[in-house]
């Protein structure tokens, strides 16, 4: 998912306005508290309970470079429960390389490619992009185009580096998203960066951004943050769900 390695706990935002922040993102309320991520591996998730667990799977990766845009669809099979009650969340990964053209035209083209991942049973749409500082305004334009084209009742979620949710959060304020999921795993580079900037006065990074306050991304093989109560939890399987028991993992978090 485009981050590197954790060994650090995090402090979450505490605010009297937390309930009002959550109410602003009411589109998320119908989703289960737990979501399992399924990345580019063969995954069999037919045993999960749709009443307790949603599935967010890598649907496609969009590559943008100096030659233009390329879309690579998911290659590995994904087996899901047949139940219509299952909350399905396609995830679109964006990767930029080799001096891409960050223009309004490319923002529209990427947005259109993202929207092709949507489907009639989609419960939400999630975008995964490790935007550099120089790409943030362009990313905002992409999200605006996507949000304007999505049905009004469909939530728009993005993944977020821990630093975006902590000391580097101002640019998130204007993003048209229902949640930004702080990825609290494989994040040692975030901790080193915070330390170098003098932003790490303790072993923790504080989550200060309201858009990051209602959800959290964790992994199966790294230490989980202590404060998970009341949050929507996304789980990344370090070794794939074939090895990391999905039912047992969900049971521990339930």
In contact, 219 and 1? CB cutoff 8 Å: no
For residue 243, what is the DSSP state? T
Distance CA 61, CA 73 (A): 6
| Nearest to 218, CA basis, from 185, 181, 191, 186 | 185
Cα four-point dihedral sign 30, 154, 217, 176: negative
Cα four-point dihedral sign 56, 58, 59, 63: positive
| Nearest to 182, CA basis, from 27, 9, 55 | 9
Domain 10-253: assigned CATH number: 3.20.20
The predicted structure's pLDDT at residue 227? 82
| Nearest to 226, CA basis, from 250, 242, 204 | 204
3-state class (DSSP) for residue 94: strand
Distance CA 228, CA 216 (A): 8
**pTM score, whole prediction:** 0.85
10-residue mean pLDDT series, the chain (254 residues)? 36 40 67 96 96 97 97 97 96 96 97 92 96 97 97 96 91 95 72 43 70 94 88 96 94 91
Beta carbons within 10 angstroms of residue 68's beta carbon: 11
Element (H, E) at 252: helix 246-253
The predicted structure's pLDDT at residue 118? 81
Distance CA 115, CA 250 (A): 29
The predicted structure's pLDDT at residue 220? 95
CA dihedral 91, 96, 101, 106 (to 10 degrees): -10
């Amino acid at each position: 998912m485009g981050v590197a390695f954790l060994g650090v706990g995090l402090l979450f935002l505490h605010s009297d306005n937390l309930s009002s922040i959550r109410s602003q993102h009411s589109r998320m309320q119908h989703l289960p508290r737990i979501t399992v991520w399924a990345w580019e591996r063969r995954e069999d998730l037919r045993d999960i309970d749709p009443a307790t667990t949603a599935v967010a799977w890598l649907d496609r990766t969009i590559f943008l470079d100096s030659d233009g845009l390329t879309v690579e669809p998911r290659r590995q099979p994904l087996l899901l429960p047949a139940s219509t009650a299952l909350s399905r969340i396609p995830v679109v990964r964006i990767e930029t390389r080799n001096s891409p053209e960050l223009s309004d035209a490319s923002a529209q083209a990427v947005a259109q490619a993202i929207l092709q991942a949507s489907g009639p049973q989609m419960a939400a749409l999630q975008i995964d992009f490790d935007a550099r500082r120089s790409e943030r305004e362009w990313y905002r334009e992409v999200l605006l185009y996507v949000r304007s084209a999505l049905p009004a009742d469909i939530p728009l979620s993005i993944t977020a580096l821990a630093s975006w949710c902590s000391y580097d959060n101002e640019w998130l304020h204007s993003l048209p998203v229902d949640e930004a999921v702080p990825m609290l795993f494989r994040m040692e580079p975030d901790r080193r960066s915070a330390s170098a900037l003098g932003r790490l006065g303790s072993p923790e990074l504080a989550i200060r951004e309201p858009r990051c306050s209602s959800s959290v991304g964790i992994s199966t093989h790294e230490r989980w943050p202590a404060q998970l109560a009341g949050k929507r939890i996304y789980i990344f399987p370090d070794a794939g769900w074939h090895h990391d028991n999905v039912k047992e993992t969900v049971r521990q978090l339930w």
